Amino acid sequence: MPGTNTETIVQFIRDPELRHIELRYSEYTEPVFHRHNHDAFSIGLVKKGRTRFHLVQKEEMVLPVTTGNVVLINPGEVHACNPETGTVFAYYMLYIEPDFFLQLLSDYSGNPITGYRFPVSLLKKHEISREVNSLCHAIQSKQAGLEIETRLLETLADILEACSSYSISNHPDGEISSSVAAAYDHLREHPEKAISLKELAGLCHLSPFHFLRLFRRQYGLPPHTAQTQMRVNMARRLLANGATIAGAAAAAGFADQSHFTREFKKSVGTTPQKYRQAA
């Protein structure tokens, strides 16, 4: 575990044998994040300090989060959290790819699960905090795959149990309006492509004005910002798999590396170069 440090610390750990998950450990003393999202299920544990966790679902929520709290973020949910002034904020964040997560969920439930969303965003149970910490520490210290997989399944089972008063849905993103989902899916499947607002609205058989209003209400971001987030997420995956910075930027649809670096840092909290080195 890194010690206390007033400078930014960012670590990313990926194991080739556990390629569906990525662990992040970070320490910050100043704000670094703009509102952003990830295409993974995210489980975070605050190790030190406190923050105000901004999360956009049907409407924006601001949740006070402090040491020992566990946050749960669904794929695509817009969020941001930065340290309170004068404090050191340190946390683990575990990213789990959606297909792998749903397979684990299917194994847990004994039934095929095709869609799920965490029904709560914040857990304050000491037992879950301890389990998440043990899991992340095992990944960070490069323990045997058997131990990590065991801790992952046990931790996930207890998180799902804590959410058990809420039903598991077999309808992915059941609350998402079908009127704008086609455009979001198109952007997600082809983040690198240039597409106009008129074209996106046409996919949903809506006027551009009506489409824009519904899209922002549904996803918490306008379409161009959502596309930029998807491009960052795509580039992040490419970098983690060994792509060059220039190659990842071009493949994800960024016109130049300076723009790519700015947007990447807003979302990931570090530069593409540092991320590639860490991952």
Each residue's pLDDT, cut to its tens digit, for the chain (279 residues) gives: 444 444 578 899 988 778 899 999 999 888 878 888 899 999 999 999 988 888 887 778 889 999 999 999 999 898 988 888 778 899 999 999 999 999 988 888 888 988 899 999 999 999 999 999 999 999 999 888 888 988 998 899 899 989 875 544 444 444 456 788 899 999 999 999 988 888 898 999 988 878 888 888 888 888 888 899 999 999 999 998 899 999 999 999 998 889 999 999 988 888 999 888 876
pTM > 0.75: yes or no: no
Domain boundaries in the chain? 9-162, 178-278
SS3 category, 213: helix
Contacts of 1 (CB under 8 A, 6+ apart): 25, 137, 140
Instruction: Quote the CATH superfamily of domain 9-162.
Output: Jelly Rolls (2.60.120.10)
pLDDT (0 to 100) of residue 100: 93
**CA distance to 39, 52, 130, 223, 262, per residue, from 44 (Å):** 15, 14, 12, 27, 24
pLDDT (0 to 100) of residue 165: 58
Give domain 178-278's CATH number out of 3.40.220.10, 3.40.50.1170, 1.10.10.60, 3.40.1280.10: 1.10.10.60
| Cross-strand bridge partners of residue 10 | 26
Of 118, 97, 216, 225, nearest to 173 by C-alpha is 118
